[in-house]
Amino acid sequence: MDPFTSYELPPTSASQTTPSTNTLSSWSCCRGAMSDSRISHLAVLACLTDAWFLNSIPRMNPTAMGQHGEHVVFMATLNNTVWFHDPNVRLDTWLFMERGTSWAVSDRCLMEQKIWNQDGKLVATCVQEGALRLKKDQHKNSVGEQNSTGSKL
């Protein structure tokens, strides 16, 4: 069972085929109380940002990757950076997250994420570069022309 409750909001984009304009938003909260250790909350948040990013990649372009990521063979993090703006952030309170991508090409993508607490205070900013491989047939169909941001996802 997932230790977090999450509510995904519909992507905000005029078109599902231009992933560089998609923004994914969600609310998440730990299901139970966590310890009062600040280090525990920061460490768990750092680990979760990696998982949240990777799980967002297929949702950025369901046309190429399948509605549920079924065209993705594998995904991996190349690097993940987290800037903590509030060392007192708690994961057992609601957090609002916005994720998007500004660049994707040659089976690599760059994701950006901002996380706010329930009071609207920015608590973390994250950037992650990921690698992914699509099934061969789908890869041929998804390459196409690059858009203005270089996105092929």
Which tokens in the block code for residue 24? 């994914």
Whole-model pTM: value is 0.76
Helix residue ranges, H only, 1-114? 38-60, 62-65
Q: Give the Cα separation of 151 and 1 in Å (integer).
A: 35
Cα–Cα dist 26/107, whole Å? 25
Phi, psi of 20 (to 5 degrees): -70, -10
pLDDT by residue for the chain (153 residues), tens only, comes to 577 777 888 776 555 555 556 788 889 888 887 888 899 989 889 888 887 766 676 666 666 666 667 777 788 888 999 999 999 999 999 999 998 887 777 788 888 999 999 999 999 999 988 888 878 765 544 444 344 444 444
Where are the chain's structural domains? Answer: 23-143
Checking DSSP bridges between strand 95-105 and strand 23-30, what pairing results, if any? antiparallel
Provide the residue type at 17 as one letter: T
CA separation for the pair 99, 112 (Å, rounded): 6
Kindly indicate whether the domain formed by 23-143 is annotated with CATH number 3.10.129.10.
yes
